[in-house]
Structure 1
């Protein structure tokens, strides 16, 4: 199983390779750069040239995958695709595309980024520009969480980098392409340097990685951002397994930090788990290659895996400032219970062909008819016909290292595919696993796509260097052909809209099989392998939707009606009725205070208030969001309810004539009108802060008891009620004020505000911003109880006189999070600074002789 290999030779899966000493030394022993963290080798510098080839190939692959974005200003922004606030949308079509195809075709959920993560980027940009905290968002739903909302991924590398660089549409695309470039470079380095695959095989993996169905159907979305960072972490993990060092542990922490900072938890968890599986397999493989006894193998592998987990733990520690508030919010909101109620909805056998291609008897990503939706089940993200055929070629003898990688990856791939297709037995077992059992089918595909990318590269390497494996090829071709025939016959020829897709599917299957069989002839293996890479690129490019919108800087150059609201809004709120308009969360981008939310973890009390007062008809609501986007033209709208929420401006579609007539008759004046929108103004909006002298005990609002919020405040907060009773202002006997009252907001930051109040007798300062237990209040420097009033807002009791009221917000775990993050960052710095002292001790701790950089033992099958 293990033998010494003469210096300068390496017996691998596909033939001889140079030794580690001949191929390592990317920057020399003493060199240090960002790349040494991930792929440092002690050798004569050949790997440096290989890294140069990887960098050049990565650039070429990015250009091949995104020519329309790079050269023709096509947009990958989901906000541009959904196109809410701008109607002059132009399209780019770099390659031919069928008629009647829309920009949406080929995408699964552009709204996740359009309504959440991309406005979130602009919120972060504005916060950084103005020196504001991101831990409270006053623009959403009268106040909402910051990073704790998870799905808008405010702290993701893409969000932070785009925000720091100005937040323009051009910056967004430059940052996005940069992260893609780094990802492909790390993937190629992983496959060539660490897995010792041929360069052509690595290119095949790179094509699959960039054009994989999961990625292209979710490109730019908050769902798929962790896809970009998987190669970085995996390269660091596998490099650490081969030769542990302090720098490589730091690299693990950096790679894990990129993923963990992207807080879309379902895909974050799955991406981390997939990378750690590859890293653990590499640790076992290298340990088997180096050691002869089972005990030594176990100690070595266990030590390496512990080191890898230590690097991940350091990343989590450094991100404690993000994750402790997240865990705090999850507990407060009962989010675990919410997820535990989710059910898994699989796809089915009818949709098996969509595992290989999205264009066959029907287009799997195009909006389904009711009949098709029932027949296909959930989405299946294509992996490629050519890629699937290449994946069959992994069935061969492999050296111990590659074999140890392949076995768990193949087992996990089959398990996950069985899961998404609802195979009996498999799904029932996974359903019983906490967290994993509640992850949606649409998220599981990220692990399938990542594993499949690696297996395609290994299969192509095996074919190129070890020859054809007939039986797996024929079985794979039979599965693809059988799935194609089954779906086509069951769907029926009368339902087939694009017969061309049938011919393309069959042609790809035949061409792939023919090229692979050519490997047995005298045709050079490099020619066959290169042809398969090109054919795979052509297939996956054909599967794309070639219509994209032209880039437009909708956030920095907003539509005219947005400018009107920005100039006149002040601290008052806006409401956008129907669509298009100013959807929830766009206020976070534009600096407009809104009453709606399209984000995660909407406070239950506010959600109940919003639905009861503004959207009493459940048919007009959108799941768990607070939005008026589905509200129709009508003869009535609860204008007192909007006034209670502090709405000064109401945005209406120009076509909503009935509603516009109603608000005009109610005294709301039109201040702006264009062919698409009208803005009407509340003539006497409720102040953001006001003084009230009567308290009524109860959970609901003053409107629910037919009282004006200017006259009475309601509360079911027991501490607040007790204080109000002691002051004699609870109940109907409270006396009206003898003179005018005054409350002025003198400072309004995200997490800190000040109010100057002048009251003639005992009363309540009401601020109609969302209440949360982490908000605290001081009156004239003395901390007081911040009451929960009017069902969802804030109130503080005041005695007669002039007062300065200060409110501050911070997660309760914020301070300890900063301390933990500081410790984590300090440890990472120490790993870099003291790496020469740490490395030999780390090697010994991992169960490996600290024999320096001259070790020449390599594994062989």
Structure 2
């Protein structure tokens, strides 16, 4: 259902009235409060400011997400991508252009739709069933848990949503709550710690919630650390002002929230940005006028060491997560993979997109090949009004604020130069380990976070000291020049939305006019408030308001998913084409799959999958194992699917040729609707089976044209030696007349028990992914777990009845638990013994906390 633009539904009319009323209330009731805070210059009652920050944070969240709060609009990327359900309702609060889609304005919704949101459901299922999350049997015949990094199974959003039941409502409630906490901490940081007015802080809050990087990646796995930056930065800066044991705990908590979100590129950049602000605050609080440079650096060094101690303590507490991650990175050679990445900048043609995404074209909307080549990589807009406000920081500042602003502005310039490929800057950044390998799309998180703080300082400067005309005109000239350049190069014949041109010019003119108005006798508060509202209006205009309505696709799946779930058992499914059951959705629905769309896919399995299932490279999707891109065809390797343990194959009804091919095989149709057909393998290969011959070689029995039920292949030297000693390597001995039983009696994520009975020596083959951290015990005695059939597990067994037990745990898991326990114990000690620690900490600082506080009061 798409709401009619010409006659808004009653609910939407009501919401618009409420929204307009809130602005009127702000203008009438809130004006006096904002005026008092705008004029305040000395240490106020912090409780009063905290209360106002809380109210302001709630107001900002309501203004940023009214359709989500009141109209059930969805921020779920799985709802946007909409793989398994097509009866999708849509909603919009404001009018949008024709042919607008829910994809527009988003850069990579698939990252969350295929990775982090199914990952939440995997965590939910694991918690509900009392299972470990450190092995995922539903993905690619077995895959990593938190070590996959990109699906961020341990992020706060994932864990809390999973604990609350994993519903779509729970996801949105948690997401909005985390946004509320983030905005509240940001406002407290800007008002109490940086001594800015609430109006200046509101300008930063608007930029924080509605800037291009965040709204283009909202809810995605790449941007979740955005939510925890204000929490961590507030803790770091507060510690620099007045160190205490509890604030070290606060730093550890903020760091823990950030690092638990294991999408490493943006996690690293968010941590680096927060630590930069924290270090600058430490230096700024260490410069009382009566002290010399040596004393300043000593005090700042101790403060920074304390901040880093809190970060280290968080890393220690998260050892149970990060030691397995580092172990997996080494095993998979991930560092080498990242080191080989080449940085692709955006182009000067796309400079205007730094300020607005709607100008001569829409920078986030899928465009023509010509435009994609001209614009280069994405540029995430930060706002025209925000940029004009930011120009006002060019003035003398008190020492503390200056110490904050100088490094932030320098780094902001370097990062923008980096993403636009400025030669000298890029060559220097490329030489920095780790940072030099991070993609352009990730660098923007630091740009957006720093810009948020700079905008708040800019409005405070305008409010207190008046306009600085030259920086304002230079900024306006850069924006207008970029706009003119892009428009002329793109050509008027290519411009589809002339309205955007007018809006861009109007925003530049209105912003300049409002700021210059500050030179008159007009009350500064009116100018400041007008700029905040104009910034909100601009950034709201840039948002794509065409959103899907919330739908519980994971807890209330489409009918064909229910059919697969009811079949039960340990056999796997394969989904051909799109839509269907894409890889990782099995993790959400409890269906075992042969595909993966996660990072760190085991190389042996990836090679096996591509060779047997997708021999045509044009049908593959990067480094994933998926049939999503596979077209309709006259042939599918059904023996290969059987080898991978597939019992059910999901086909789109539009794939007529492939359905005809399957119909002529022994596979039978068990379900059909308007979109999907499910066919069943009548005799699928068991998950566990006994064979009595081993063939030496890297490839599978299919590659050597042998029966999967008679022989296992292996190139594992230890396993080959054992098979040779047992006399079954290359043997053509007569197998038993009947298949010998191998019954899986327990199948947990990290523990499998199998009962097997053999009449002669053989191999128990478990059709699950092999990994060196899987260990095996036969009748209580540890044995070698062989690598068989290129990517699976096998163990040699003597004649007789046996109980085979396989267990998985990262090798660093035990020491990780010990370190995490130590970290938690240290945090507890900091809380319990804070009254003993705080005086000694103050003595170590040398009174810098009190001196710095006095200096800040003088500077105010």
The residue that corresponds to 1:7 in the other structure is none
The residue that corresponds to 1:607 in the other structure is 606
The residue that corresponds to 1:577 in the other structure is 576
The residue that corresponds to 1:124 in the other structure is 123
Q: Cα offset for 1:843?
A: 1.5
Aligned to 1:289, the other structure's residue is in SS state coil
In structure 2, C-alpha distance between the alignment counterparts of 1:665 and 1:18, rounded to whole Å = 83
In structure 2, C-alpha distance between the alignment counterparts of 1:68 and 1:192, rounded to whole Å = 29
1:97 to 2:96 alignment: yes
Task: Answer yes or no: is the 8 Å Cα contact 2:241–2:852 preserved in 1.
Answer: no
1:79 to 2:78 alignment: yes
Q: Pick closer, same or farther for the CA change 1:740–1:631 going to 2, 3 Å.
A: closer
- Aligned counterpart in structure 2 of residue 17 of structure 1, from 24, 35, 41: 41
Q: Pick closer, same or farther for the CA change 1:308–1:658 going to 2, 3 Å.
A: same
Task: Answer yes or no: is the 8 Å Cα contact 1:289–1:401 preserved in 2.
Answer: no
1:843 to 2:842 alignment: yes
Task: Answer yes or no: is the 8 Å Cα contact 1:296–1:847 preserved in 2.
Answer: no
In structure 1, C-alpha distance between the alignment counterparts of 2:383 and 2:623, rounded to whole Å = 36
Aligned ranges for residues 241-256 of structure 1 at < 5 Å? 241-256=240-255
Task: Answer yes or no: is the 8 Å Cα contact 1:290–1:857 preserved in 2.
Answer: no
Task: Answer yes or no: is the 8 Å Cα contact 1:289–1:860 preserved in 2.
Answer: no
In structure 2, C-alpha distance between the alignment counterparts of 1:653 and 1:766, rounded to whole Å = 33
Aligned ranges for residues 549-628 of structure 1 at < 5 Å? 549-628=548-627
In structure 1, C-alpha distance between the alignment counterparts of 2:766 and 2:207, rounded to whole Å = 54
Task: Answer yes or no: is the 8 Å Cα contact 1:307–1:846 preserved in 2.
Answer: no
The residue that corresponds to 1:342 in the other structure is 341
Q: Cα offset for 1:854?
A: 9.9
- TM-superposition CA deviations, 1:284-309 (whole Å, max 9, x none): 00001375111110110000000000
Q: Cα offset for 1:591?
A: 0.3
Aligned to 1:823, the other structure's residue is in SS state helix
| Long gaps (5+) in structure 2 | 1-36
- TM-superposition CA deviations, 1:679-736 (whole Å, max 9, x none): 0000100000000000000000000000011010000000000000001000033331
- TM-superposition CA deviations, 1:607-665 (whole Å, max 9, x none): 00000000000000000000000111111000000000000000000111111111111
Task: Answer yes or no: is the 8 Å Cα contact 1:318–1:822 preserved in 2.
Answer: yes
The residue that corresponds to 2:34 in the other structure is none
In structure 2, C-alpha distance between the alignment counterparts of 1:561 and 1:481, rounded to whole Å = 54
Q: Cα offset for 1:858?
A: 3.3
1:155 to 2:179 alignment: no
Task: Answer yes or no: is the 8 Å Cα contact 1:844–1:850 preserved in 2.
Answer: no
- TM-superposition CA deviations, 1:535-580 (whole Å, max 9, x none): 0000000001110000000000000000000011410000000010
The residue that corresponds to 1:667 in the other structure is 666
Aligned to 1:94, the other structure's residue is in SS state coil
1:638 to 2:617 alignment: no
Q: Cα offset for 1:517?
A: 0.3
Task: Answer yes or no: is the 8 Å Cα contact 1:643–1:685 preserved in 2.
Answer: yes
The residue that corresponds to 2:105 in the other structure is 106
Aligned to 1:704, the other structure's residue is in SS state coil
Aligned to 2:859, the other structure's residue is in SS state coil
Aligned to 1:426, the other structure's residue is in SS state helix
The alignment yields a C-alpha RMSD, in angstroms, of 1.4
Aligned to 1:397, the other structure's residue is in SS state coil
The residue that corresponds to 1:372 in the other structure is 371
The residue that corresponds to 2:136 in the other structure is 137
Q: Cα offset for 1:99?
A: 1.0
Bigger drift between 117-126 and 822-831 goes to 822-831
The residue that corresponds to 1:652 in the other structure is 651
The residue that corresponds to 1:681 in the other structure is 680
Q: Pick closer, same or farther for the CA change 1:268–1:564 going to 2, 3 Å.
A: same
Q: Pick closer, same or farther for the CA change 1:851–1:97 going to 2, 3 Å.
A: closer
The residue that corresponds to 2:260 in the other structure is 261
The residue that corresponds to 1:462 in the other structure is 461
Q: Cα offset for 1:777?
A: 0.3
Q: Cα offset for 1:368?
A: 1.7
Task: Answer yes or no: is the 8 Å Cα contact 1:757–1:805 preserved in 2.
Answer: yes
The residue that corresponds to 1:35 in the other structure is none
Aligned ranges for residues 445-460 of structure 1 at < 5 Å? 445-460=444-459
Aligned to 2:297, the other structure's residue is in SS state helix
The residue that corresponds to 1:750 in the other structure is 749
Q: Pick closer, same or farther for the CA change 1:853–1:439 going to 2, 3 Å.
A: closer
Bigger drift between 613-622 and 726-735 goes to 726-735
- TM-superposition CA deviations, 1:391-437 (whole Å, max 9, x none): 00000010000000000000000000000000011111111111111
The residue that corresponds to 1:834 in the other structure is 833
The residue that corresponds to 2:235 in the other structure is 236
In structure 1, C-alpha distance between the alignment counterparts of 2:261 and 2:748, rounded to whole Å = 26
In structure 1, C-alpha distance between the alignment counterparts of 2:448 and 2:527, rounded to whole Å = 24
**TM-score where L is the length of structure 2:** 0.95
Task: Answer yes or no: is the 8 Å Cα contact 1:574–1:595 preserved in 2.
Answer: yes
In structure 2, C-alpha distance between the alignment counterparts of 1:555 and 1:374, rounded to whole Å = 38
1:279 to 2:278 alignment: yes
Aligned ranges for residues 761-780 of structure 1 at < 5 Å? 761-780=760-779
In structure 2, C-alpha distance between the alignment counterparts of 1:401 and 1:314, rounded to whole Å = 28
In structure 2, C-alpha distance between the alignment counterparts of 1:432 and 1:712, rounded to whole Å = 51
Aligned ranges for residues 477-496 of structure 1 at < 5 Å? 477-496=476-495
Q: Pick closer, same or farther for the CA change 1:424–1:853 going to 2, 3 Å.
A: closer
Q: Cα offset for 1:739?
A: 4.8
Bigger drift between 590-599 and 725-734 goes to 725-734
The residue that corresponds to 1:314 in the other structure is 313
Aligned to 2:650, the other structure's residue is in SS state strand
In structure 1, C-alpha distance between the alignment counterparts of 2:648 and 2:304, rounded to whole Å = 58
The residue that corresponds to 1:37 in the other structure is none
In structure 1, C-alpha distance between the alignment counterparts of 2:299 and 2:586, rounded to whole Å = 54
Q: Pick closer, same or farther for the CA change 1:137–1:757 going to 2, 3 Å.
A: same
Aligned to 2:209, the other structure's residue is in SS state helix
Task: Answer yes or no: is the 8 Å Cα contact 1:620–1:631 preserved in 2.
Answer: yes
Task: Answer yes or no: is the 8 Å Cα contact 1:134–1:146 preserved in 2.
Answer: yes
Bigger drift between 579-588 and 283-292 goes to 283-292
Aligned to 1:239, the other structure's residue is in SS state helix
In structure 1, C-alpha distance between the alignment counterparts of 2:413 and 2:164, rounded to whole Å = 42
Task: Answer yes or no: is the 8 Å Cα contact 1:226–1:267 preserved in 2.
Answer: yes
Q: Pick closer, same or farther for the CA change 1:537–1:853 going to 2, 3 Å.
A: closer
In structure 1, C-alpha distance between the alignment counterparts of 2:46 and 2:765, rounded to whole Å = 67
The residue that corresponds to 1:790 in the other structure is 789
Aligned to 1:276, the other structure's residue is in SS state helix
The residue that corresponds to 2:164 in the other structure is 165
Q: Cα offset for 1:846?
A: 2.5
In structure 1, C-alpha distance between the alignment counterparts of 2:340 and 2:159, rounded to whole Å = 33
1:293 to 2:317 alignment: no
- TM-superposition CA deviations, 1:256-287 (whole Å, max 9, x none): 10000000000000000000000000000000
In structure 1, C-alpha distance between the alignment counterparts of 2:231 and 2:850, rounded to whole Å = 27
In structure 2, C-alpha distance between the alignment counterparts of 1:133 and 1:162, rounded to whole Å = 17
| Long gaps (5+) in structure 1 | 1-12, 24-45
The residue that corresponds to 1:218 in the other structure is 217
Bigger drift between 427-436 and 265-274 goes to 427-436
In structure 1, C-alpha distance between the alignment counterparts of 2:389 and 2:50, rounded to whole Å = 25
1:416 to 2:415 alignment: yes
Aligned to 1:456, the other structure's residue is in SS state helix
Aligned to 1:513, the other structure's residue is in SS state helix
